[in-house]
Structure 1
Amino acid sequence: MHFSRHTRKQNFCLVFSGFDLMLDPIFLGLDPLFSIDVKLLIKDIHSCAPVPGYQDLYLFQGHTIKSVEIYGIIVAVEQNHAMLIYQVDDGTGTVPCCLWKNSTGSITKTLPLGTCVHVLGRITDYKDMRQVTTFSLSQVHDPNREVLHALEAMVLRKTVYAEPYKVPVQIQQNADKLKEQMQADKDGEHLLSKEATETSTIKTENAFQQRLLLYLREHAPTSGFPYTFARADETLRESARQLLHHKYGESPTERQISELFAHSTTALVKSGDLLEVESNSGVYQVLTSERLQNTIETIVREAESKLSPAYGNGSPQECCAQEKEN
């Protein structure tokens, strides 16, 4: 089928209509690929262009992406006090996969060269070098999974990924109204939160824990923080003084304030709102749905890898038969 220059120009305009809107912070997550681990080949990771004005967001065939899924063979390993760096090769290219030592307690030793691995992580650039900041890296015992992933990535590249995301016409037509409404809702929530934080008197430990959690969700670094991180905030310290004065009837000591922060942090870990990076490390992360999902996936993969020698092959009936024999 032949397309005239006028027709190609119309199609180009249609594809990129609403492109600026797609990169608006309020509408950034509309593209379904934005919130998933996109199946890619390593050469595709290197072809992604950084999104102007954003950190660690990339454009791939008209889609805004951040996280990827790859398979490959470990061809080099580096290690320092902070991270393990696996150089992974899938036949189309190589990419460093950086695994922070304080991001998981499951990596106790390095995997050997030649190991086939499954990697989930976020595309990042460091010193002008493309890399994958890794959420999960697990050994693959079946090499066919790497081949299957490559085939899936190539098919998706020609089908799903080949269609650039377009902001729906209804959203384009009402973008200004939607932005005003969403900003008004956000400002209202922030105002209520701020008023509640600044004016209410803290009289129970549970109320102080919720205020501490709100502060950590807004200010704590995602990479992890010590329990003393929030102790420097004067508003929280005043809340701690209110609670302890109400409890003991006198001005609290610095030691009592520190103990309250430590106890509240432990309580938030037990309630599932915080996650201790490593046992007894004193470093914590705010538990988000994304981090919880990654943690669950890591646990499942580890359990699967332990079961795979006995149950990795054969039909379900054969596996059941093996279980009975054992």
Structure 2
Amino acid sequence: MAQEGCRRGTEDPVPSMLWGLDPLHGVFVKLYVRDILELKKSQQVPGIFFYKTHPISKVDILGTVVQKQEKERFYTIGVDDGTGVVRCIFWKKQQLMEVPKPASSPRGFNLLDLLSRITRLEQENSRLELGDVVQVHGQIREYREQRDIRSFSIVKVADPIFTAQISRMLALPHLYQNFYDKTFQIPKTSVESNEDQSHILSLQSKIKQFLAQNQVKNFYQRELETIDMLSCVAQHGQQGVCGQDLGQSPAQELSSLQCASRQIHAAFQEAISALKMEGVIFQKVAGPNELYLVTDEEKQLHDVILSIIRDDSSRPKYVDKGCPFLHILSCVRHNYGAEITEATLQRVLDRLECSSDIISTMDRCYTAS
């Protein structure tokens, strides 16, 4: 979420010439109302606001109408999404003039008739009442030191069983974690990006191969960096980043070595992070210096998961379909380690199923065999 500290400072987090490189710039960004009200205003360009390092001008919100007011030329409504209330303004549109209805085309298509239907639908949607659920697309603006949204469209959402609101509630945490909360970085050229990705994939493959061949149960990253076979792959990928000249002084040589060491360390970090996302390794305690465990070799984790499925699949609520994936994940995090990821759990479940210890049923549910 946006912090009060984001309002401080006189310079924009990212130069304006680079804003177009950010995929969030120029699109309707789904945000919590609370964050819209707390966005930092650009010091360079009016109408641009920042969520952390991302330049934003247009937003997409879903909420309940809690305020309503009609003016001569526009309407104002207050939309509440559970985190805050923001005022949305939309202008009244002029009515279409009455024109003679032309004959229909041979195929029965009448453009003016279709336009008239669209206009009637827009007018019906503009008749909002308190308690209506609406989706608003609009541009953020500040008027007389008050933050509001100049609406391009307001759509009344028929949501009797809260489907749209639940969907939004589930989608927003994912968007924040995977896009909004990540620092905007200037993309590399395609050649540099492809080369870097190739080296990381190569290192990732070598680490996976090393762990399997040696049946490694756990390790620290610094231990892998001492393995010649692996460090050579990482070092090859960083050649030229901190190149050394023959005429360097001892101090310059030391600086170059330190730079190369940092680059190699970063390559290992990226490869290990990819292996975590794949579920090959995991941590019981999160942190760059904490112990990594190899999923296939951590038999205690396998036993815990198998025990949970055996115990809970016999309960009345799970006896027909089996234990849902998310239920198993919650139990594993409670009984074994809070940092267990979905990918790690899925890898263990696949192995247990291959060994016929469990059986998968519909909807990612599992029961003991």
TM-based fold match above 0.5: no
TM-score by length of 2: 0.38
User: Which structure's CA Rg is the greater one?
Assistant: 2
Q: Which structure is higher in RCO with an 8 Å CA cutoff and minimum separation 6? A: 1
